Amino acid sequence: MAKSEHHGYTVTYESSSHWKVITQMWGSVWPKVLPYCIFNVMVAAFIQWLDAQDNISLAISDKGHSFMNLMVAFLIVSRVNISIGRYNESRGYLSTMYRESRELIQNMVVLSGHNTDQRSKEWRNEVAYQVCLLLRVAMGVIDYSENYINVWELEELDDDERAEMKKYIFLDTGGGQNALRWAHGVRTEYEENMRVPIRMAYLLRKTIRSQRQHLGEPLPTPQELKLMASVDNFMNGYYGMRKFLTTPFPFPLVQMARTFLFFYVYTVPFALLSDDSNAVAHCVVIFILTYGFMGLEYVSIELDNPFGEDDNDFDNLGMAYTAFEDTYLSILHTDGPEWTDRLRKRMDPRNKGLGQGRSETAALLV
């Protein structure tokens, strides 16, 4: 990359410049690792001072460290590799959802664009709205562990959509009817948030199917199935993301790696006492070793959960907004500014009272 650019989605850097890569603080683990390095150097300096006193030596054999070094390196490298795999896996699921939401909209407007009557435009607008909502609630599920906002309370949902979502969850939300009496056990808000995109996909499939009643010239079955396939593929991405969110990194491996790591790193100063090098050399080596091992552990921690507010996290909602904008462009090209404005207002919490709401548009579809 010729020039580093902060595009807002994740950390970028200029890989051709070694100096810039080494010194860049945006997305770096330096701020988190540096306190450990300083503390370990202070420990080394203190025991070096004690060793210089008469009859006070805390030196230990370095043979044990030689054997432990292999175990720690194996655990840390294995953890980093698994974390990178999970990081790429989650990005793949996100990419699937973004791609299929765009593909569904583009195929819909291309295949049905020859229908230019009012009811056809209303159908396209409703499908586009539900596709955007499906993507939005999927992003809400991903972000729930960070902001604890229930997806049925998202501002993009109007009152009818919100009531529809609350009606089909196994929680008492205080909003009247719900599905609680059919539950097999007590469900948490986290579990019920994960259920909402499934319900939204069902409603989207019903709306796509309704094209037979609302298009002047209905789509042939193969074309309708093509739109349905995009919903299926989107949900494959969502179910993959759901698997990712409900399957954390194996705790026993994390516990073992971290236990070995701390024991190894903070006993290095004692093992180096038997070395003939001077105190400054010992401190430099200890600083570098601590940075290397603790830095890799913090890289794993960063990659374990790539969603949230950390520098290296995905801006999944920001990328979803670009998918919304691509949807607006498709509607603009096919149905014009009036229908694009209507869709944009329905997706903008600040304009909920300004455009035609779902109750009106959906009523025209019934």
Task: Summarize pLDDT for 67-118 with one digit per residue, the tens.
Answer: 788 888 888 888 999 999 999 999 999 999 999 999 999 999 999 999 999 9
Lowest mean pLDDT among 125-139, 147-161, 168-182, 331-345: 168-182
CA distance 236 to 231: 9
Phi, then psi, of 285 in degrees rounded to 5: -60, -45
Q: 130 falls in which pLDDT band (50, 70, 90)? A: very high
Look at residues 51, 35, 34 and name the one whose alpha carbon lies nearest to residue 272: 51
For residues 253 and 86, the answer to whether their CB atoms sit within 8 Å is no
Residue type, 139: M
pLDDT of residue 4: 40
Q: 54 falls in which pLDDT band (50, 70, 90)? A: low
Alpha helices in 113-182 (DSSP H): 118-147, 159-167
- DSSP secondary structure letter of residue 38: H
pTM for the full predicted model: 0.85
Q: ∠275-278-284 over CA atoms, to 5°?
A: 95
- Output 150 or 56, whichever has higher pLDDT: 150
The mean per-residue pLDDT over the stretch 172-189 comes to 81
For residues 283 and 41, the answer to whether their CB atoms sit within 8 Å is yes
Residue 287 has pLDDT above 80, yes or no: yes
Look at residues 364, 324, 330 and name the one whose alpha carbon lies nearest to residue 126: 364
CA distance 303 to 85: 9
For residues 156 and 352, the answer to whether their CB atoms sit within 8 Å is no
CA distance 203 to 199: 6
CA distance 270 to 158: 64
Residue 1 has pLDDT above 50, yes or no: no
Q: 31 falls in which pLDDT band (50, 70, 90)? A: very high
Q: 176 falls in which pLDDT band (50, 70, 90)? A: low
